[in-house]
């Protein structure tokens, strides 16, 4: 039995996901793997993501404005009407990341390095929540926009900072 057939038959809720959702999640797994290999030296964790953002900032290659559409999406998804939404706790942020991410999402921190770092931390949390099983708690439902925006971030980071074939 091919893996897709098996997932459709056995994985809770998987058969109910629209094809676009499944495709976005599958793409995310490959994009994340390529990002981790090409940009993060085969190992991505929060402190190394901070280090990368600092390196890019110092080198003048940060280009935080390129990620404005994704940051705008994350802001409306996680912070609306002056308060953090019910989605925010599901990011499962590390306590050390909460002040930075909250300050960028609520708009009080407009620093370019911090804006890009927040986008990267959110995408990293999607990765952890997917690969460590938290996303299965709600059967991967309603994740298309999250993964579509995360995929756009990863592709842009790879184009800017990866060692991709021409």
Q: pLDDT digits over 13-30, tens only?
A: 888 889 999 899 999 999
Global pTM reads 0.92
> What does the mean pLDDT of the chain come to?
92
Any domain includes 13:
no
- Residue, of 139 and 97, whose pLDDT is higher: 97
Any domain includes 5:
no
In this prediction, residue 70 carries a pLDDT of 98
Q: What is the pLDDT of residues 70-116, one digit of tens each?
A: 999 999 999 999 999 999 999 999 999 999 999 999 999 999 999 99
d(CA 132, CA 126): 10
Give how many domains the chain has, as a whole number.
1
In this prediction, residue 15 carries a pLDDT of 85
In sequence order, what DSSP letters do the residues of the chain get, joined into one string? --HHHHHHHHSTTGGGS-HHHHHHHHHHHHHHHHHHHHTSTT---HHHHHHHHHHHHHHT---GGGGHHHHHHHHHHHEETTEE-TTGGGG---TTTHHHHHHHHTTS---HHHHHHHHHHHHHHHHHHHHTTGGGGGTTTT-HHHHHHHHHHHHHHHHHHS----
Asked if residue 147 has pLDDT above 90, the reply is yes
In this prediction, residue 17 carries a pLDDT of 87
Inter-axis angle of helices 68-78 and 112-131, to 10 degrees?
A: 60
Any domain includes 82:
yes
Closest CA to 146 of 102, 91, 85: 91
- Domain span including residue 41: 26-161
d(CA 71, CA 73): 5
Q: What angle do CA 112, 114, 117 make, to 5 degrees?
A: 110
In this prediction, residue 138 carries a pLDDT of 55
Asked if residue 1 has pLDDT above 80, the reply is no
Any domain includes 46:
yes
Any domain includes 44:
yes
Any domain includes 90:
yes
Any domain includes 80:
yes
Asked if residue 127 has pLDDT above 80, the reply is yes
Residue 71 near residue 104, CB atoms below 8 Å: yes
pLDDT band with cut points at 50, 70 and 90 for residue 139: low
Any domain includes 166:
no
Residue 94 near residue 102, CB atoms below 8 Å: no
In this prediction, residue 166 carries a pLDDT of 58
């Amino acid at each position: 039995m091919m893996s897709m057939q098996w997932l459709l038959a056995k994985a809770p809720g998987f058969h109910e996901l629209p094809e676009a959702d499944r495709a976005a999640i599958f793409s995310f797994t490959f994009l994340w793997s390529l990002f981790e290999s090409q940009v993060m030296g085969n190992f991505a964790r929060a402190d190394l993501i901070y280090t990368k953002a600092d390196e890019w900032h110092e080198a003048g290659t940060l280009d935080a404005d390129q990620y404005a559409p994704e940051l705008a999406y994350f802001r409306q998804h996680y912070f609306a009407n002056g308060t953090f939404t019910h989605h925010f706790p599901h990011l499962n942020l590390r306590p050390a990341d909460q002040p930075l991410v909250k300050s960028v999402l609520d708009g009080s921190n407009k620093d370019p390095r911090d804006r890009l770092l927040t986008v990267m931390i959110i995408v990293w949390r999607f990765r952890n929540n997917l690969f460590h099983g938290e996303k299965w708690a709600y059967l991967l439902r309603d994740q298309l926009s999250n993964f579509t925006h995360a995929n756009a971030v990863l592709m842009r980071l790879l184009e800017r900072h990866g060692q991709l074939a021409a």
